[in-house]
Amino acid sequence: MSFNPLAGVLIVPAAAAALLAVLPGYRTTARLNVVATTLTLLFALSLFFVRPAPSAYLLVDDLNGTFIVLTTFVGFTTSIFSASYIGHELDIGRLTPPFVRFYHAMYQVLMFAMNLALIANNIGLMWVAVELATLTTVLMVGIYRSHEALEAAWKYFILGSVGIALALFGTILVYMAARPVVGEGLDAMVWSVLVKRAGAFDPALLNVAFVFLLLGYGTKVGLAPLHAWLPDAHAEGPTPISAVLSGLLLNVALYALLRFKMLLAVNPGALAPGPLMVTLGLVSLVFAAFMLYRRRDIKRLFAYSSIEHMGIITFAFGMGGALANFAGLFHMTMHSLTKSAIFFAVGHVAQVKGTQRIADMGGLTETHPVLGWGLVLGVVAIAGLPPLGIFMSEFLVVSSTFAREPALAIILVFGILVGLAGLFLRLNSIAFGEPRGPSAPAQASYVPMFTHLALVLAAGIYMPPALVAWFQNVAGLLG
Amino acid sequence: MHGIAFDIAHLLAGSLVLISFLELYQDRLYALLNVFALHALVLAASVAWQAFIQDAPHLYVTALIALVFKAIVIPTALHRIIVRLGIHREIEKVVGVGPAMLAGIGLVALSMVVMLRVTQEADPLAREDLAFALSVVLLGLLMMVTRRNAVSQVVGFMSLENGLVLAATGAKGMPLVVEISVAFSILIAFIVIGIFLFRIRERFDTVDVQVLDRFRGERR
């Protein structure tokens, strides 16, 4: 027990949150925020080498190891972006020093909650962590205290709470199903115990539980028609939070869902969770793709694009099987990296233009070439054009579906194409054409954005065999 | 099993559903808060009874939290907020009392049918508790969607959480972690709500959520 990376993944953000809540001064705290996320990332990486034995509360396996590394990595790059973004907000007086202090503390609490949700072995603990993550993001979304921000936060709070309440009911039902088999007490909520014994659970109870869990955690994933909170929350909060919401928090909720899906898969009598997830995924994809056309706010545009991609990922996991799971995992990783890179660009764009309205910005590649082309590259990536990583993952999802369910694959391709056209339509008016809006040079940190994009590009061109083997291994776990 | 213990548990859980119906047709905020306090009181009694018959002393803590926090502290605090904001007038509803009650009856019937059918192997007490709990949860949800006023939405949310506590205590031997978490989440939720209400008060002159809707970013 001399070195336990699990403790590091939790204690570092918790301690940093406490420290950041009391320390004054923007520069120190922003730097400390970066240091804390770096440390957390290092601890997360060490999980590959030192793997603690599962306890009744915490568990690390290959599945959540992947999620933790992704989460801490994006958390780390976002903290670098956040430092320059928040500095600008402070300069223009949109945020005051007490709020910045609050923001940094909340950022670390959010990292803590997401890590806890990912490594929780106890389904009750996992629920608590997701709830904590929801509450922190609610507070961050409302931080600007404008009409829109308050409305967005309120809506997010109400819808998120209802979702989380339904998920708790589902969790209780899982316990009810487990109790006759596993026995009373703590063991009946420990995931690693449950998954071994789930074959003997009462299937009817497990089915109802999964429906509640799907609706509950599905709300947090942002699946249509439960997505109403998502565009508002993305558009009105600080942009680093939009990046973390899209890139990470949606994944965490999906991860919770996947854990329960694995539970159902063990039980022969339970309903197949696949078709439900496939349906919700396709509905989200097609709905969000059409919604892209009418967007006037740049952050809302990419929020809908997140719904679209979460739809694709949920669809892939719903299809199941080694190849589709592989594609789903790969797509999720690529989407997290690309979408957060886009939000890094969008954050700076909105700052230099002083607005989020698409109509008020234009010709970005002329006025701000680096930022503009960065955004173009990001959108090309997210739209799924070769040779970037998302093309590869979408191609895998589509081709694996064509082999099994051609009819579904047609809907899938249709949704993706509609989304692609919608994104390019909007991108055209933002990045090209007559320059509009202020053209003062941007004080931006480009490193996080281009790091993400370079990774996505690299993954699209060449995947190291070790990484492929790793993803295949995890996809096999998902069943 | 069908002894007095079962009957009392049944009575308390059933009353909780009944009080949820009472909440559904209150059209004044003060009255609504009083009914909610009653809701929490019955919940506390129900949890305490479960603690007694299950011989699970830790549930008394949950009962105490329900009694002190939900039946006394929160209604008092919300009462003050209402006074401070001067919004003690009638609650605007999206649908009338009649349709709301009918929808409520439908939801209760639905939860009975679903839960009693899928839990045939569980013991009868947990079964009926779960069915009642789901009814309370669904009625709370219904209340949230049929009200426009932020305070009454919050009350709807809290009675929804009361249903969750009922379900959690009915599930025999459920580890303490969940009870604490539920209580804790209510605490946090309330702080958040409190902050929000005050912030809303700073910026708007109403807590009517419909007014908030007008500030949507894109509707211009």
At residue B188, the pLDDT reads 54
CA atoms within 13 A on the CB side of B114: 21
Identity of the residue in B150, B160, B192 whose CB atom sits nearest the CB atom of A138 = B192
CA atoms lying within 13 Å on the CB side of residue B151: 32
Sequence-ordered list of residues with C-beta below 8 angstroms from that of B98, at least 6 positions apart, any chain: none
Give chain A positions within 8 Å (CB) of B110: none
Six-digit token string for A195:
């998954």
Residue B139 — very low, low, confident or very high, per pLDDT cuts 50/70/90? very high
**SS3 call for B90:** strand
Reported as a single tens digit per residue, the pLDDT across A209-255 is 999 999 999 999 999 888 889 999 999 889 999 999 988 999 999 99
Q: Which residues of A57-75 are buried (b: 16+ CB within 10 A; e: fewer)?
A: bbbbeebbbbbbbbbbbbb
How sure is the predictor about A336, in pLDDT bands with cuts at 50, 70 and 90? very high
Per-residue confidence band for B219, with pLDDT thresholds at 50, 70 and 90: very low
DSSP for B159-197? Answer: HHHHHHHHHHHHSTT--HHHHHHHHHHHHHHHHHHHHHH
pLDDT on residue B119: 75
Average pLDDT, chain A: 89
* Residue A124 sits at the chain B interface (C-beta within 8 Å): yes
What mean pLDDT do residues B143-159 have?
A: 81
What pLDDT score was predicted for residue B150? 73
Question: Which of B153, B167, B185 lies at the smallest CB-CB distance from A158?
Answer: B153
Q: Do B189 and A169 touch (CB under 8 A)?
A: no
Residue A179 in contact with partner chain B when CB distance is under 8 A = yes
Out of B23-37, B49-63, B90-104, B177-191, the most confident range is B23-37
Q: Does A89 touch chain B (CB under 8 A)?
A: no
- The confidence score (pLDDT) of residue A377 equals 93
Judge if the upstream peptide bond of residue A225 is cis by omega within 30 degrees of 0: yes
Q: How confident is the model at residue B180 (pLDDT cuts 50, 70, 90)?
A: low
Residue range B157-182: mean pLDDT, rounded:
76
Most distant CA atoms of chain A, gap in Å: 69
Position B209 scores a pLDDT of 57
pLDDT of residue B181: 56
Name the residue type at position A336. Answer: S
Chain B residue with minimum CA distance to A180: B122
Closest residue in A to B111 (Cα) is: A208
Query: Each residue of B84-95: pLDDT tens digit?
Result: 766 666 666 778
Give counts: helices (H), strands (E), chain B. Answer: 9, 0
Kindly report, residue by residue over A120-164, the tens digit of the pLDDT: 998 888 988 998 898 889 888 888 878 788 778 888 888 888 888
Structure tokens at A261: 């899906």
Cα–Cα distance for residue pair A38/A72, rounded to 1 Å = 8
Cβ contacts from A onto B, under 8 A = 133
Distance CA A144, CA A122 (A): 36
CB < 8 Å to B193, chain A: 157
pTM for the whole structure: 0.91
Mean pLDDT of B33-62: 88
Residue B220 has pLDDT above 50, yes or no: no
Q: Which residue matches tokens 């992704």?
A: A70
Confidence (pLDDT) at A381? 93
The residue of chain B with its CA nearest to that of A163 is B141
Q: Is the CB of residue A55 less than 8 Å away from at least one CB of chain B?
A: no
Helices A147-182 and A203-221: crossing angle in degrees, nearest 10, is 160
Supply A401's token pair: 């579906």
Identify the residue with better confidence: B210 or A115: A115
In chain B, which residues have their Cβ closer than 8 Å to the Cβ of A235? 217
Look at residue B202 and tell me whether its pLDDT is greater than 60: no
Query: Which residue in A has a C-alpha nearest to residue B164's C-alpha?
Result: A169
ipTM above threshold 0.95: no
Q: What confidence score (pLDDT) does residue B218 get?
A: 47
Q: For position B2, what pLDDT does the model report?
A: 63
**Range of lowest pLDDT (A271-280, A289-298, B173-182):** B173-182
Q: How far apart are CA B2 and CA B124, in angstroms?
A: 9
Residue B61 is predicted with a pLDDT of: 80
Q: pLDDT tens digit string along A337-355?
A: 999 999 999 999 998 888 8
Neighbours of A280 (CB within 10 A): 23
How large is the average pLDDT for residues B141-157?
81
Q: What is the pLDDT of residue B35?
A: 94
Burial of A279 (0-12, 13-18, 19+ CB in 10 A): middle
pLDDT for B215: 46
* Bridge partners, residue B28, by sequence: B90
Sign of CA pseudo-dihedral A411, A413, A416, A417: negative
Cα separation of B177 and A127, whole Å? 11
The answer to whether residue A445 neighbours chain B at the CB level (below 8 Å) is no
Q: How many Å apart are CA B68 and CA B91, to the nearest integer?
A: 26
A403-421 pLDDT, tens digit per residue, is 998 999 999 999 999 999 9
Contacts of A185 in chain B (CB under 8 A): 173, 175
* pLDDT tens-digit map of A15-45: 999 999 888 888 888 999 999 999 999 999 9
| Contacts with B102 (C-beta within 8 Å, 6 or more apart), sequence order | none
Render pLDDT for A4-16 as a digit per residue (tens, 0 to 9). Answer: 778 888 999 999 9
Asked whether residue A333 carries a pLDDT value surpassing 90, the answer given is yes
Query: How many CB atoms within 10 Å of residue B191?
Result: 12
Computed over every residue of chain B, the mean pLDDT equals 78
Question: Given this model, what pLDDT does residue A95 score?
Answer: 86
Of the candidates B173, B192, B218, which has its C-beta nearest A135's C-beta? Answer: B192
Residue whose pair of structure tokens reads 């973004």 in the numeric block: A85
Rounded to a whole number of angstroms, the distance from the CA of A348 to the nearest CA of chain B is: 19
